Chain A
Amino acid sequence: KAGVTQTPRYLIKTRGQQVTLSCSPISGHRSVSWYQQTPGQGLQFLFEYFSETQRNKGNFPGRFSGRQFSNSRSEMNVSTLELGDSALYLCASSLASGGAGNEQFFGPGTRLTVL
């Protein structure tokens, strides 16, 4: 079975631009969660999608948004980028929700640098 894939792997943007990151979950997995990882704040939950519905959202501004398609692929978008958005963005897929005791399978991440 193919693992979780994320594209692109690396991205460099400038302040004020917007960016879209993509995540393809493991076949058959319907839950996709997104996390932001920075040295200062660690791993922070962004949002989770299940069957095209956002079920939970972390404490991030409205500039961070996401969606999930019928094939379970997910995208997240960050508008009006700020320097502080530089981070490793990780996507995780699972059969059902991670919080309910389901193992989450992580992708390799997208390293976003905002200049």
Chain B
Amino acid sequence: SQQGEEDPQALSIQEGENATMNCSYKTSINNLQWYRQNSGRGLVHLILIRSNEREKHSGRLRVTLDTSKKSSSLLITASRAADTASYFCATPPGGSNYKLTFGKGTLLTVNP
């Protein structure tokens, strides 16, 4: 079963706007990672946040983690058409130090 669930499933915005995607997970985790996938290609790692961190920034990306609510959010500021992609959160399911379980992703479309 899915460990992470992204919300919304799809998001369409205009260039320059901010995009926020949410991820909820079921079991305790030691870290949560966000990945991007351009249409039918491999995934690209964006950012990793550990369970003892609450917020992390990388360029135009901001990730928050609320372990009490078992949720995370990814904010992309000042979006560009090139940000159009699917975004996935990934977590190691409870007790696992090996595999990552991915949600079904949020499809972000940034219109020029």
A81 at the interface (CB under 8 A from B): no
Alpha-carbon gap, A35 to B42, bound state (A):
11
Query: What distance in Å separates the Cβ of B20 from its nearest Cβ neighbour in chain A?
Result: 21
Given A97-B97, A104-B45, A108-B41, 14 additional A-B pairs, CB 8 A:
A4-B42, A42-B103, A42-B104, A43-B88, A45-B101, A55-B98, A98-B92, A99-B92, A100-B97, A100-B98, A101-B30, A101-B50, A106-B43, A108-B42
Q: Given A56-B99, A97-B98: A106 and B44 within 8 A (CB)?
A: yes
Contact B100 A99 (CB under 8 A): yes
B48 at the interface (CB under 8 A from A): yes
For B77-109 the 0/1 string (1 means CB < 8 A from A) is: 000000000001010100011111111110000
Is B64 part of the binding interface, using a Cβ–Cβ cutoff of 8 Å? Answer: no
CA distance A106 to B96 in the complex (A): 20
B33 at the A/B interface (Cβ < 8 Å)?
yes
Q: Please determine whether A109 and B42 come into contact, CB atoms closer than 8 angstroms.
A: yes
Q: Are A104 and B100 in contact, CB atoms less than 8 angstroms apart?
A: yes
* A64 part of interface (Cβ distance < 8 Å): no
7 interchain residue pairs of minimum CB distance: A99-B92, A106-B42, A43-B102, A56-B98, A101-B31, A42-B104, A106-B43
Most A CB within 10 A of own CB, among B30, B35, B92, B99 = B99
Closest to B6 in A: A42
The 6 listed contacts between A and B (C-beta, < 8 Å) are A56-B96, A99-B100, A101-B50, A104-B100, A106-B45, A108-B42
A88 to B2, CA, bound (A): 18
How far, in angstroms, from A111 to B90 measured CA to CA in the complex? 22
B33 to chain A: closest residue by CB: A103
> CB of B112 within 8 A of chain A?
no
Assess the A48–B98 pair: CB atoms within 8 A.
Answer: yes
Which listed residue, B2, B50, B99, B104, touches A99 by the CB 8 Å rule? B99
Q: Which residue of B lies closest to A42 (CB)?
A: B104
- For residues 34 through 70 of chain B, which have their beta carbon under 8 Å from a beta carbon of chain A? 35, 40-45, 48, 50
Taking CB atoms, residues of chain A closer than 8 Å to B88 are 43
